[in-house]
Amino acid sequence: MPLVEVDARVEYAPGRTAFEGRFEAGEGVTVLIGPNGAGKTTRAV
């Protein structure tokens, strides 16, 4: 599974950033951050 470079910004409440930055992840990886389970799903482009 190839790694993809992803820019992500996740808010767990309006104006409250849980994560902002860049990471590498495999295709279809879901990152869950914060008490509300806000997340970002990555897909290979």
Q: pLDDT tens digit string along 6-41?
A: 777 776 677 776 667 677 777 666 665 555 555 555
Can you list the positions of beta strands (E) in 1-45?
3-13, 16-26, 30-33, 38-41
Number of domains making up the chain: 1
Q: Note down the domain range covering 9.
A: 3-41
DSSP state for residue 45 in the 8-state scheme: -
CA distance 27 to 6: 10
pTM of the model: 0.32
Residue 18: which residues within 8 A CB-CB, separation 6 or more? 10, 11, 12, 33, 34, 38
